[in-house]
Amino acid sequence: MNKKIIFPMLSVLVLAGCTKPAAPAMESEELAHYISGMTLKGLDNVRGNMYLPEEVEGLPITWSCDQPGIINCEADGDIAPGSVTRPSQDTTVHLTASIKKDGKVGKYTQEVTVKGLARELTDDDYVGYLLVTFTGENSGANGEQVYMSLAPEGAGFNFQSLNGNQPILSSIASEKGVRDPFVYRSPEGDRFFIIATDLKVNNRPEGGWSQTSKGYTYPTVNGKHTLILWETEDLTDWGEPKYIDVAPKNAGMAWAPEMTWHEETGQYVIFWSSCIIDDLSLPDNQKTKVKGDAVYYTTTRDFEHFGETKLFIDNQKDGVPANSNHPDGRNIIDATCTKIGDHYYAITKDGDNPDADGGIRIFKSDDILDYTAWEKVLDLDELGLDPTGSGARLNNGTEEFTNRTLEGPALFQFNKCDWEDPNKPEWCIMGDRYNAGSGYLPFSTTDIEDTTGDAWSIYPSSKFSWGNGGKRHGSVLKLTKEEAAAIGAKWLAA
């Protein structure tokens, strides 16, 4: 199912009639007009699996390649045709699309440059971090844009704000605001993405987080269905933003998007939170949520063509009395997800801000495309960690690690050079202290499934700093020496 694209992005692979095709080999001039539907662009810079359309104007397309070891035009288990195995150096291959109509055959061959595989990175290659955030609706007209901070080589987890603590990326359309930016490295290692919420609370006409007569905040019932996406190959030139419409048609909003690579099907899984509204045509004050906030997903290879939107993680119902305000389960937002070992793990904000039953929850699944397969691992507040000295007085002086004090969890692996034991990988879970306005609170673990708390610790405040400016709901990318140096050269001196 193809979804609406509002702005184009030149570096991705799409069906297009705008490129001038080479002379086709046709048995009939009658088939010539189908060429535009079989023309692909971005073929001089292929770095990952390709989207190959299955039909044009109702006619099936058969694809073939003169080097099937590089572009596989056959399905491979659950992986669709178009999977790419990058060679050791840039290689030109020929990709042919064939159609048949009324016994006549039309073929069109295009040259494709598959880029040589980037050097495979190991734990020893990562020496720095990039922190990508926004600063909040209360930090001025530009607070809801993309800010970046750098922890260069040798700095540990101590960040310096980039670009003079001014936005590096800004939304140019739609709500003209960016929240919850998530930065991601492609599985091949040499493409990077930022995906974010299309929302600006600072200048909303109804007044920020004010509520409708039904008790919903306005941004949850009249929010945008679009997500904002940037792409780069060098972490310094991000180009223009693109707006992708992937939320359910009757969604009230689309918030806090992230993505992960799904190696089982060879595609990206993009996921975000939406609630479902009874009738979007009603005035905002009359809209009713018929399903609370849950996490939805779509799949893509090229960020132009998307799979059907489906449920990713449903509302949580454990511990919710039948007569509670959420008889169908607590709202769930701010999902992050990654694969650790043989399993996928997701972390969410489970419950609205005042919900006593909610928490910062960790889930586990072996099949992330089946929303019923997620199992609870633990809630952070169940670990019994001692917050003394952590600066974790987050909720009117109360020390706790729940959804009432933390949101926007981030999950990533610390650099090996920052592990306490070089033989024990350490993972970081950070929570946005949204009630305190004091940046992130990081936790460290060597075993994400440990429910005793023995493998967990609150990352000591002596080992991290965020630099100047607020840091709200963002994400962290591990950097090589060369990547950190390039980012610093462009923006540290600004």
pTM above 0.85, yes or no: yes
**The pLDDT value given to residue 46:** 97
Give CATH superfamily name and number for 123-491.
Glycosyl hydrolase domain; family 43 (2.115.10.20)
* Percent of the chain residues topping a pLDDT of 70: 89
Cα separation, 265 vs 258, in Å, equals 18
Q: What is the mean pLDDT of residues 111-119?
A: 96
The CA-atom distances, in angstroms, between 309 and each of 1, 118, 184 are 9, 32, 21
CA angle 265, 271, 274 (to 5 degrees): 145
Q: What is the pLDDT of residues 301-331, one digit of tens each?
A: 999 999 999 999 999 888 776 666 666 789 9
Which string of DSSP letters, residue by residue, matches 141-154?
A: TTSSSBEEEEE-TT
**The pLDDT value given to residue 460:** 87
Q: Are 472 and 202 a contacting pair, CB within 8 Å?
A: no
Q: What is the pLDDT of residues 176-193, one digit of tens each?
A: 999 999 999 999 999 999
Q: What is the mean pLDDT of residues 328-355?
A: 93
Indicate the domain borders of the chain.
25-114, 123-491
Strand (E) or helix (H) holding 193: strand 192-198
Q: For 253, how many CA atoms within 13 A lie in the half-sphere containing its CB? A: 28
pLDDT at 15 over 60: no
pLDDT at 213 over 50: yes
CA angle 216, 222, 224 (to 5 degrees): 130
Lowest mean pLDDT among 115-124, 308-317, 379-388, 421-430: 379-388
**The pLDDT value given to residue 140:** 86
Q: What is the pLDDT of residues 49-88, one digit of tens each?
A: 999 999 999 999 999 999 999 999 999 999 999 999 999 9
Q: What is the mean pLDDT of residues 3-8?
A: 36
Q: Are strands 464-465 and 157-158 parallel, antiparallel or unpaired?
A: parallel
Q: Sign of dihedral through CA atoms 132, 133, 139, 140?
A: positive
| Residue indicated by tokens 């100047």 | 468
Q: What is the mean pLDDT of residues 98-110?
A: 90
Computed over its alpha carbons, how large is the radius of gyration of the chain? 24
Which string of DSSP letters, residue by residue, matches 243-281?
A: EEE-S-TTBS--EEEEEEEETTTTEEEEEEEEEEES-TT
Cα separation, 442 vs 453, in Å, equals 15
Cα separation, 431 vs 273, in Å, equals 17
Between 446 and 395, name the one with better pLDDT. Answer: 446
Q: What is the mean pLDDT of residues 132-160?
A: 94
**The pLDDT value given to residue 468:** 82
Q: For 351, how many CA atoms within 13 A lie in the half-sphere containing its CB? A: 21
**The pLDDT value given to residue 358:** 82
**The pLDDT value given to residue 168:** 98
pLDDT at 22 over 50: no
Look over the chain and give the mean of its residue pLDDT values, rounded to a whole number: 89
State in Å, rounded, how far the first CA of the chain is from the last one: 44
pLDDT at 157 over 50: yes
**The pLDDT value given to residue 25:** 46
